[in-house]
Protein backbone atom coordinates (compact mmCIF):
# COMPACT_ATOMS: atom_id res chain seq x y z
CA UNK A 1 0.00 0.00 0.00
CA UNK A 2 1.58 3.25 -1.10
CA UNK A 3 -1.50 5.38 -1.69
CA UNK A 4 -1.83 8.08 1.00
CA UNK A 5 -5.61 8.09 0.79
CA UNK A 6 -5.75 4.40 1.70
CA UNK A 7 -3.14 4.44 4.45
CA UNK A 8 -3.46 5.17 8.16
CA UNK A 9 -1.21 7.77 9.79
CA UNK A 10 0.90 5.14 11.60
CA UNK A 11 1.43 3.41 8.23
CA UNK A 12 2.63 6.69 6.70
CA UNK A 13 4.84 7.46 9.72
CA UNK A 14 6.40 4.01 9.47
CA UNK A 15 6.95 4.33 5.72
CA UNK A 16 8.72 7.67 6.22
CA UNK A 17 10.79 6.22 9.08
CA UNK A 18 11.78 3.38 6.73
CA UNK A 19 13.09 5.94 4.23
CA UNK A 20 10.11 6.35 1.93
CA UNK A 21 10.39 10.14 1.74
CA UNK A 22 9.37 10.74 -1.88
CA UNK A 23 5.78 11.60 -2.84
CA UNK A 24 4.21 11.72 -6.29
CA UNK A 25 1.39 14.27 -6.59
CA UNK A 26 -0.66 13.45 -9.71
CA UNK A 27 -2.52 16.31 -11.41
CA UNK A 28 -5.62 15.69 -13.49
CA UNK A 29 -8.37 17.86 -14.92
CA UNK A 30 -12.13 18.02 -15.37
CA UNK A 31 -12.69 19.06 -18.97
CA UNK A 32 -14.28 17.85 -22.19
CA UNK A 33 -12.58 14.95 -23.93
CA UNK A 34 -14.77 14.71 -27.01
CA UNK A 35 -18.16 13.00 -27.18
CA UNK A 36 -16.68 9.61 -26.28
CA UNK A 37 -14.38 10.07 -23.23
CA UNK A 38 -15.28 11.13 -19.67
CA UNK A 39 -14.39 14.57 -18.30
CA UNK A 40 -12.11 12.93 -15.75
CA UNK A 41 -9.87 11.33 -18.39
CA UNK A 42 -6.70 13.17 -17.35
CA UNK A 43 -7.30 12.42 -13.66
CA UNK A 44 -7.67 8.70 -14.42
CA UNK A 45 -4.46 8.77 -16.49
CA UNK A 46 -2.46 10.73 -13.90
CA UNK A 47 -3.55 8.38 -11.11
CA UNK A 48 -2.76 5.27 -13.19
CA UNK A 49 0.73 6.49 -14.08
CA UNK A 50 1.53 7.35 -10.46
CA UNK A 51 0.31 3.94 -9.29
CA UNK A 52 2.48 2.22 -11.89
CA UNK A 53 5.52 4.14 -10.71
CA UNK A 54 4.75 3.27 -7.10
CA UNK A 55 4.80 -0.44 -8.02
CA UNK A 56 8.41 -0.05 -9.12
CA UNK A 57 9.87 2.71 -6.92
CA UNK A 58 9.97 3.55 -3.18
CA UNK A 59 7.45 6.39 -3.42
CA UNK A 60 4.15 7.33 -1.82
CA UNK A 61 1.28 8.52 -4.01
CA UNK A 62 -0.92 11.49 -3.06
CA UNK A 63 -4.55 11.63 -4.24
CA UNK A 64 -4.78 12.97 -7.79
CA UNK A 65 -6.00 16.58 -7.90
CA UNK A 66 -9.09 16.33 -10.11
CA UNK A 67 -9.27 19.98 -11.24
CA UNK A 68 -6.55 21.81 -13.16
CA UNK A 69 -6.20 24.79 -15.48
CA UNK A 70 -8.48 23.99 -18.40
CA UNK A 71 -9.83 27.28 -19.70
CA UNK A 72 -8.73 26.33 -23.22
CA UNK A 73 -11.81 24.08 -23.18
CA UNK A 74 -14.24 26.88 -22.42
CA UNK A 75 -17.49 26.56 -24.35
CA UNK A 76 -17.89 22.83 -23.71
CA UNK A 77 -20.25 21.64 -20.97
CA UNK A 78 -18.83 20.24 -17.76
CA UNK A 79 -15.72 22.40 -17.51
CA UNK A 80 -14.14 22.97 -14.10
CA UNK A 81 -11.00 25.08 -14.00
CA UNK A 82 -8.70 26.91 -11.61
CA UNK A 83 -6.67 30.06 -12.14
CA UNK A 84 -2.98 29.23 -12.56
CA UNK A 85 -2.21 31.09 -9.32
CA UNK A 86 -4.82 29.00 -7.47
CA UNK A 87 -3.44 25.67 -8.65
CA UNK A 88 0.12 26.80 -7.91
CA UNK A 89 -0.98 27.74 -4.39
CA UNK A 90 -2.68 24.34 -3.90
CA UNK A 91 0.48 22.52 -4.98
CA UNK A 92 2.67 24.69 -2.71
CA UNK A 93 0.27 24.28 0.23
CA UNK A 94 0.27 20.48 -0.13
CA UNK A 95 4.08 20.44 -0.46
CA UNK A 96 4.48 22.45 2.73
CA UNK A 97 2.34 19.94 4.69
CA UNK A 98 4.23 17.03 3.19
CA UNK A 99 7.54 18.57 4.28
CA UNK A 100 6.02 18.84 7.77
CA UNK A 101 5.72 15.03 8.12
CA UNK A 102 9.04 14.19 6.57
CA UNK A 103 8.75 14.28 2.79
CA UNK A 104 12.05 15.25 1.17
CA UNK A 105 11.35 14.77 -2.51
CA UNK A 106 8.24 15.74 -4.46
CA UNK A 107 7.33 14.76 -8.01
CA UNK A 108 4.42 16.68 -9.53
CA UNK A 109 3.06 14.45 -12.29
CA UNK A 110 0.68 16.35 -14.55
CA UNK A 111 -1.39 14.50 -17.15
CA UNK A 112 -2.82 17.75 -18.52
CA UNK A 113 -0.83 20.10 -20.75
CA UNK A 114 -2.83 23.18 -19.74
CA UNK A 115 -1.27 23.11 -16.27
CA UNK A 116 2.06 24.46 -17.58
CA UNK A 117 1.86 28.00 -16.26
CA UNK A 118 0.64 26.86 -12.83
CA UNK A 119 3.50 24.38 -12.64
CA UNK A 120 6.07 27.09 -13.43
CA UNK A 121 4.57 29.32 -10.73
CA UNK A 122 4.52 26.45 -8.21
CA UNK A 123 8.11 25.56 -9.01
CA UNK A 124 9.35 29.13 -8.52
CA UNK A 125 7.47 29.42 -5.26
CA UNK A 126 8.62 26.09 -3.84
CA UNK A 127 12.26 26.68 -4.74
CA UNK A 128 12.03 29.97 -2.87
CA UNK A 129 9.97 28.84 0.13
CA UNK A 130 11.06 25.21 0.56
CA UNK A 131 14.62 24.97 -0.75
CA UNK A 132 15.23 21.83 1.31
CA UNK A 133 12.56 19.95 -0.68
CA UNK A 134 13.90 18.30 -3.84
CA UNK A 135 11.34 19.02 -6.53
CA UNK A 136 10.82 17.52 -9.96
CA UNK A 137 8.07 18.70 -12.29
CA UNK A 138 8.64 16.73 -15.47
CA UNK A 139 7.53 17.90 -18.91
CA UNK A 140 5.53 14.88 -20.11
CA UNK A 141 6.21 15.55 -23.80
CA UNK A 142 9.95 15.78 -23.22
CA UNK A 143 10.22 12.78 -20.90
CA UNK A 144 7.74 10.39 -22.56
CA UNK A 145 7.15 11.71 -26.09
CA UNK A 146 9.60 9.38 -27.80
CA UNK A 147 8.41 6.34 -25.84
CA UNK A 148 4.80 6.92 -26.87
CA UNK A 149 5.70 7.64 -30.50
CA UNK A 150 7.69 4.40 -30.69
CA UNK A 151 4.67 2.36 -29.59
CA UNK A 152 2.46 4.18 -32.10
CA UNK A 153 4.94 3.84 -34.96
CA UNK A 154 5.25 0.09 -34.33
CA UNK A 155 1.48 -0.18 -34.85
CA UNK A 156 1.42 2.22 -37.82
CA UNK A 157 -0.45 4.98 -35.95
CA UNK A 158 0.52 8.46 -37.26
CA UNK A 159 0.95 11.47 -34.89
CA UNK A 160 -2.16 13.21 -36.24
CA UNK A 161 -4.20 10.15 -35.25
CA UNK A 162 -2.70 9.83 -31.74
CA UNK A 163 -3.62 13.50 -31.46
CA UNK A 164 -3.20 16.01 -28.67
CA UNK A 165 -6.55 15.63 -26.98
CA UNK A 166 -9.08 12.77 -26.90
CA UNK A 167 -7.45 11.23 -29.97
CA UNK A 168 -6.24 7.65 -30.39
CA UNK A 169 -3.64 8.03 -27.63
CA UNK A 170 -5.85 9.02 -24.73
CA UNK A 171 -8.70 6.85 -26.00
CA UNK A 172 -6.49 3.74 -26.09
CA UNK A 173 -5.31 4.44 -22.54
CA UNK A 174 -8.88 4.85 -21.29
CA UNK A 175 -9.96 1.67 -23.11
CA UNK A 176 -7.34 -0.10 -21.02
CA UNK A 177 -7.98 1.73 -17.72
CA UNK A 178 -11.79 2.04 -17.63
CA UNK A 179 -13.40 0.65 -20.79
CA UNK A 180 -16.87 0.96 -19.27
CA UNK A 181 -16.52 4.77 -19.48
CA UNK A 182 -15.52 4.90 -23.16
CA UNK A 183 -18.29 5.31 -25.72
CA UNK A 184 -16.60 4.06 -28.87
CA UNK A 185 -19.89 4.33 -30.80
CA UNK A 186 -19.54 8.11 -30.33
CA UNK A 187 -15.86 8.29 -31.30
CA UNK A 188 -15.36 10.62 -34.25
CA UNK A 189 -12.27 12.36 -35.64
CA UNK A 190 -11.75 16.02 -34.81
CA UNK A 191 -8.89 18.24 -35.97
CA UNK A 192 -6.39 15.96 -37.73
CA UNK A 193 -4.12 18.53 -39.38
CA UNK A 194 -0.56 19.35 -38.39
CA UNK A 195 -0.39 18.86 -34.62
CA UNK A 196 2.14 21.61 -33.98
CA UNK A 197 -0.05 24.11 -35.79
CA UNK A 198 -3.10 22.68 -34.02
CA UNK A 199 -1.48 23.23 -30.63
CA UNK A 200 -0.58 26.82 -31.50
CA UNK A 201 -4.16 27.54 -32.57
CA UNK A 202 -5.61 25.74 -29.53
CA UNK A 203 -3.49 27.78 -27.12
CA UNK A 204 -4.24 31.05 -28.92
CA UNK A 205 -7.99 30.72 -29.47
CA UNK A 206 -9.18 27.68 -27.50
CA UNK A 207 -10.20 24.16 -28.50
CA UNK A 208 -13.66 25.22 -29.62
CA UNK A 209 -12.18 27.39 -32.39
CA UNK A 210 -10.15 24.41 -33.63
CA UNK A 211 -12.80 21.69 -33.51
CA UNK A 212 -16.50 21.61 -32.67
CA UNK A 213 -16.22 18.03 -31.33
CA UNK A 214 -13.43 18.86 -28.87
CA UNK A 215 -11.25 16.09 -30.36
CA UNK A 216 -7.73 16.78 -31.60
CA UNK A 217 -6.75 13.56 -33.33
CA UNK A 218 -8.72 10.49 -34.43
CA UNK A 219 -9.92 8.12 -31.70
CA UNK A 220 -11.40 5.48 -34.03
CA UNK A 221 -8.35 3.13 -34.23
CA UNK A 222 -7.97 3.14 -30.41
CA UNK A 223 -7.08 -0.18 -28.85
CA UNK A 224 -6.89 -1.25 -25.19
CA UNK A 225 -3.75 -3.32 -25.70
CA UNK A 226 -1.95 -0.37 -27.26
CA UNK A 227 -3.18 1.84 -24.42
CA UNK A 228 -1.56 -0.55 -21.97
CA UNK A 229 1.70 -0.30 -23.94
CA UNK A 230 1.46 3.53 -24.02
CA UNK A 231 1.16 3.58 -20.23
CA UNK A 232 3.99 1.08 -19.80
CA UNK A 233 6.24 3.16 -22.07
CA UNK A 234 5.48 6.35 -20.12
CA UNK A 235 6.06 4.64 -16.78
CA UNK A 236 9.40 3.31 -18.02
CA UNK A 237 10.47 6.79 -19.17
CA UNK A 238 9.50 8.36 -15.82
CA UNK A 239 11.15 5.54 -13.90
CA UNK A 240 14.44 6.04 -15.70
CA UNK A 241 14.26 9.81 -15.25
CA UNK A 242 13.43 9.47 -11.54
CA UNK A 243 16.49 7.43 -10.67
CA UNK A 244 18.65 10.52 -10.16
CA UNK A 245 16.07 12.22 -7.95
CA UNK A 246 15.74 9.20 -5.71
CA UNK A 247 19.51 8.96 -5.40
CA UNK A 248 19.91 12.64 -4.53
CA UNK A 249 20.18 13.84 -0.95
CA UNK A 250 18.00 16.96 -0.95
CA UNK A 251 19.12 18.11 2.48
CA UNK A 252 22.82 18.27 1.78
CA UNK A 253 22.70 19.12 -1.92
CA UNK A 254 19.50 20.96 -2.86
CA UNK A 255 21.19 22.68 -5.79
CA UNK A 256 22.08 19.39 -7.41
CA UNK A 257 18.54 18.39 -8.17
CA UNK A 258 17.27 21.37 -10.14
CA UNK A 259 14.95 20.33 -12.97
ZN1 LIG B 1 -6.54 14.68 -21.69
pTM: 0.93
**Distance from Cα 6 to the centre of ligand 1, integer Å:** 26
Name the average pLDDT for the chain: 93
pLDDT at 245: 77
pLDDT at 244: 75
**Distance from Cα 257 to the centre of ligand 1, integer Å:** 29
pLDDT of 3 higher than 50? yes
pLDDT at 254: 43
Helix axes 224-247, 41-56, angle to 10 degrees: 50
Q: How many CB atoms lie within 10 A of CB 129?
A: 12
Contact status, residue 259 vs residue 136, Cβ threshold 8 Å: yes
The Cα-based distances of 254 to 16, 58, 64, 131, 148 in angstroms read 19, 20, 26, 7, 31
What's the CATH number for 4-254?
A: 3.40.50.10310
pLDDT at 253: 43
Contact status, residue 157 vs residue 9, Cβ threshold 8 Å: no
Q: In 3-state terms, what secondary structure has residue 116?
A: helix
Residue 241: closest CA among 24, 74, 18 = 24
Q: Where are the beta strands (DSSP E) in the chain?
A: 22-27, 60-61, 105-110, 134-136
pLDDT at 259: 41
User: Residue 249 — pLDDT band, cuts 50, 70, 90?
Assistant: low
**Distance from Cα 14 to the centre of ligand 1, integer Å:** 35
Residue 144: closest CA among 60, 49, 67 = 49
User: Residue 141 — pLDDT band, cuts 50, 70, 90?
Assistant: confident
Q: What percent of the chain has pLDDT over 70?
A: 95
- Burial of 116 (C-beta count, 10 Å sphere; 0-12/13-18/19+): middle
Q: In what order do the strands lie in the sheet with 105-110?
A: 60-61, 22-27, 105-110, 134-136
**Distance from Cα 117 to the centre of ligand 1, integer Å:** 17
Q: In 3-state terms, what secondary structure has residue 255?
A: helix
**Distance from Cα 53 to the centre of ligand 1, integer Å:** 19
**Distance from Cα 200 to the centre of ligand 1, integer Å:** 17
**Distance from Cα 20 to the centre of ligand 1, integer Å:** 30
**Distance from Cα 165 to the centre of ligand 1, integer Å:** 5
* CA–CA dist 39, 44 (Å, integer): 10
* CA–CA dist 213, 210 (Å, integer): 9
Please compute the mean of the pLDDT values over residues 6-24 and round it to a whole number: 96
**Distance from Cα 238 to the centre of ligand 1, integer Å:** 18
**Distance from Cα 122 to the centre of ligand 1, integer Å:** 21
Q: How far is CA 250 from the centre of its chain?
A: 24
Per-domain residue ranges for the chain? 4-254
**Distance from Cα 41 to the centre of ligand 1, integer Å:** 6
Start-to-end Cα distance in the chain: 28
pLDDT of 251 higher than 70? no
Q: Which residue has the higher pLDDT, 125 or 247?
A: 125
pLDDT of 148 higher than 90? yes
**Distance from Cα 39 to the centre of ligand 1, integer Å:** 9
Residues 46-102 pLDDT 10s? 999 999 999 999 999 999 999 999 999 999 999 999 999 999 999 999 999 999 999
pLDDT at 255: 46
**Distance from Cα 99 to the centre of ligand 1, integer Å:** 30
* CA–CA dist 154, 196 (Å, integer): 22
Residue 52: closest CA among 158, 157, 147 = 147
**Distance from Cα 223 to the centre of ligand 1, integer Å:** 17
The Cα-based distances of 183 to 147, 157, 178 in angstroms read 27, 21, 11
pLDDT of 29 higher than 90? yes
- Burial of 196 (C-beta count, 10 Å sphere; 0-12/13-18/19+): exposed
**Distance from Cα 60 to the centre of ligand 1, integer Å:** 24
**Distance from Cα 168 to the centre of ligand 1, integer Å:** 11
**Distance from Cα 101 to the centre of ligand 1, integer Å:** 32
pLDDT at 250: 58
**Distance from Cα 111 to the centre of ligand 1, integer Å:** 7
- Burial of 102 (C-beta count, 10 Å sphere; 0-12/13-18/19+): middle
pLDDT of 257 higher than 50? no
Residues 93-119 pLDDT 10s? 999 999 999 999 999 999 998 999 999
Amino acid sequence: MKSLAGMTWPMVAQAVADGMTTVILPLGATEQHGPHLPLGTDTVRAHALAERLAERLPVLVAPALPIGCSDEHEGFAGLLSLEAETLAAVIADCARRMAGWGVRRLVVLSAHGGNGRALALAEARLRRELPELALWIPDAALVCGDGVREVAAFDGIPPATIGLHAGEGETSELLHLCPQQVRMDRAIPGYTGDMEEGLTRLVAAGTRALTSTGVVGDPRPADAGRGERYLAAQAACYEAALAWLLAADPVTSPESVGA
